[in-house]
Amino acid sequence: MELKIIETDKKKQKPSGALGFGKYFTDHMFVMEYDDGKWHDARIQPYAPFTLQPCCSVFHYGQGVFEGTKAYKNKKGEVRLFRPKDNLLRLNDSSDRVCIPPIDVDFVLDALKKLVMLDSDWIPTDEGTSLYIRPSVIATENALGVHAAKSYIFFIILSPSGSYYAHGLEPVRLCVEEKYVRAAKGGTGHHKVIGNYAASLKAGEQAALKGYDQVMWLDGKEHKYVEEVGSMNIFFVFDGVVKTPALLGSILPGITRRSVIELLKSEGVTVEECEIPIADVIDGAVSGRLEEVFGTGTAAVISPVGDFGYRGKDYAVGGGKMGKITKHVYETLTGIQTGKIADPFGWVIKL
């Protein structure tokens, strides 16, 4: 397929001041459509609204998937992508789960690189900032029957962003959720399906009313094992051993999660992917055996957890401060992403 590039003649004003997360969008976007069994009309074009009919299938049945990855620009002006191909491969896995046709990963990766370079003057360079990249697919068939749509739009938009949490790298407060369920084995929790996030909002709002930043989800069957957090995977350090919930079919296989495991293992640190009972987490917090807790995610990066609430009681972790391993992982990963530290893993693509 040919990639067309239509440049805007009306560049937008860039934001000044704090960026926040996902509030501003660059001058261009990538778009292609799917009809009659194939993707077509791939183009980089000015960022613009879509016109969709009220009967468009994504509005009714939520057939859609998305990804999140980032571009970084360092002080030398180098533009760097972090494992973008892994995100596009995961997008195809998510698509398969909800009957969306796959994209050609190499073609889209090439288009993504061109899009990022076209809008590279939007990539912020301050510490903790990056260009958040959001590839998405939505079903666009104009029909109300419940079936996999016959037409789709794939698009990539770019958003210069700062920290995901308003309070930056300050430890976050999590609320352990026992009433609502995020995902069950066999469902869509293992994939980045748009409806997963709508289903998580109620618990998130209730946690926020009680002063927490995000929800810590337990397994859907017994409410016994920790699964993940609102927008992050979760890691625990018990007596120097790093543990994270195993991917047993209802947890998102995070690319930052995978990178942290690979990084720590390469340094000789034991990392266990296993079932983690919430009872062990509570015991660990009370006895002091639980030394650190941190979340991982593209948007959230590495987020220290200062405390969590469970059944009306708050439990502090590591004196409410960022722990040693958390700090090391944060500095190493962001160092590799921005080029301050060499990348021995081949994760970064320099543009």
- Binding site residues, ligand COI, CB under 6 A: 68, 197, 231, 297-299
How many residues comprise the chain?
351
Q: Least Å distance between CB 97 and ligand COI?
A: 16
Closest to ligand COI by CB, 197 or 315: 197
Q: Name which of 26 and 231 has its Cβ closer to ligand COI.
A: 231
We find the least distance from the C-beta atom of residue 304 to ligand COI, in angstroms, to be 16
| Closer Cβ to ligand COI, 28 or 257, answer by number | 257
Dihedral (Cα; 341, 331, 262, 301), 10-degree rounding:
-120
How far CA 109 is from CA of 69, 83, 87, 98, 119, in Å, comes to: 12, 11, 10, 22, 15
Closer Cβ to ligand COI, 193 or 285, answer by number: 193
Q: How far is the CB of 195 from ligand COI (least distance, A)?
A: 12
Task: Report the residue closest to ligand COI, judged by CB.
Answer: 68
For the bound state, the minimum distance from the C-beta of residue 295 to ligand COI, rounded and expressed in Å, comes to: 10
CB of 198 to ligand COI, least distance (A): 11
Backbone angles phi, psi at 147, to 5 degrees: -160, 165
- Shortest distance, CB of residue 53 to ligand COI, whole angstroms? 27
Task: Closer to ligand COI by CB, 107 or 197: give it.
Answer: 197
Which is nearer to ligand COI, 257 or 284 (by Cβ)? 257
